[in-house]
Amino acid sequence: GNNDGDKLYLRHKFQEIGEIHPDTWEMEIEGKRVALMHQPRFLEALISSERYDVIIYGHTHKVDLRPGPPLVFNPGECGGWLTGKCTVGIVDLETMKADILPLR
C-alpha cells in the first residue's frame, strides 16, 4: 500500500522480512511474462509495450479485469475499507483467465 507513515522506519522493518521492489517488478512464471506493481501510473504504457502476458496492479482498490492480451488485473481490496467489498483474485496462467473471489 501507500504506507504514508514514517517511511524510514517502515523501510527498515520491511527489510527485516523481505525485499523492497521497484515500481514495477518483472518476473517469468510458467513461461508467462508478468509485471506486478502497486501504482498504475505506467499501466497504459506497459499494456502498449506488448512485453507482458499478465499485468497485475493495485492502489485503486477497484476490481479491474481485462482479458487482453495482455491480461490486466486488479483484484480490488481484501479489507473492504474503501469499496465495502472484500475480494481477492486468482490468475490461471495455463488458461490465461482470472477470477475475483469474495472474502465474505
User: Residue 12: what pLDDT?
Assistant: 78
pLDDT tens string 68-84 = 999 999 999 999 889 99
- The whole-number pLDDT of residue 104 equals 78
Q: Decide: 71 and 54 in contact? Cβ < 8 Å.
A: yes
What integer is the mean pLDDT of 4-16?
73
Q: 23 pLDDT exceeds 90? A: no
Q: How far apart are CA 35 and CA 47, in angstroms?
A: 10
Which domains are delineated in the chain?
7-102 (3.60.21.10)
Looking at per-residue confidence, does 7 or 80 come out higher?
Answer: 80
Angle ∠(91,79,44) on CA atoms, nearest 5? 50
CA distance to 32, 37, 89, per residue, from 23 (Å): 20, 6, 21
Q: What global pTM score does this model have?
A: 0.81
Confidence of residue 5 (pLDDT cuts 50, 70, 90): low
Q: Residues 79, 58: contact at Cβ < 8 Å?
A: no
Residue 28 clears pLDDT 60, i.e. is over it: yes
